[in-house]
Amino acid sequence: MKNKKALFTTKWIAYTAMLTALVVATTAIPPAPTPAGNVYWCDGAIFLAAYLLDPFAAFIVGGLGTFLYDLCLGNAAMMFISLVIHGLQCALTSALLHYAFARLPKKFEPVWAGLASIAGAAIVILGYFLTYWLITGKGYEYAVMRIPGNIIQEVTGISIAVIICYATTFKKQLMKNNLLPDFKNEVLVKEKPCEENS
């Protein structure tokens, strides 16, 4: 009999850490003002991570990245909400793209990425609507007023991520040079002999 212990590779850890830091950095960029409210840039980094990484790493990037930003701002009321909403946003997008849509034609991957992102965006829009309505006490009307701004933010984030990942050769170059984590093989299995009972 052998015991198996799962270990993440250095590449997996490095990409997860770098993209988490990118989410924190893009969240700190001053938002773009619109008639519907301020639009933040972090969703572009979140969706980009979803296109490149497995769902578990994606959850860490989206959730922990926004959690750390709220922590740095001292926004304790939103830290765990951001962790859940943006973690699920990134993980669902990754899961749909890399698993549910995995057998679809690869040449249409930008389309599948966009469709997967719509599902992730829906989590953000619904999640913050429920947060403002039921948790923060700002009321139903305020929650409704925030929906257009969140829609604009998600569309902007999806557009940025799709352009970076697919309109350029960014992802192709990573894959060509073996720099992109192959998430199906990035969890190594280390086998240890187990002493048999006498």
Domain ranges for the chain:
17-183
CA 131 to chain centre: 19
The span from the CA of 148 to the CA of 150, in Å, is 5
Give 127-165 pLDDT, tens digit per residue. 999 999 998 888 999 999 999 999 999 999 999 999 999
Give me the count of residues in the chain. 198
3-class DSSP state of 99: helix
Please state the three-class secondary structure of 4-46 as a single string: EEEEECHHHHHHHHHHHHHHHHHHHCCCEEECCEEECCHHHHH
Backbone angles phi, psi at 63, to 5 degrees: -75, -50
Per-residue pLDDT tens digits for 42-101: 999 999 999 999 999 999 999 999 999 999 988 888 999 999 999 999 999 999 999 999
Element (H, E) at 31: none
Of the candidate ranges 1-5, 108-112, 150-154, the one whose mean pLDDT is the lowest: 1-5
pLDDT at 195: 47
CB 180 within 8 A of CB 174: yes
User: What would the two tokens of residue 90 be?
Assistant: 């990134």
pLDDT of residue 185: 58
Residue 188 has pLDDT above 90, yes or no: no
pLDDT confidence of residue 182? 66
Please provide the distance, in angstroms rounded to a whole number, between the alpha carbons at the two ends of the chain: 13
Check residue 16 and give its pLDDT: 94
Q: Which CATH code fits 17-183?
A: 1.10.1760.20
Mean pLDDT rounded to a whole number for the chain:
87
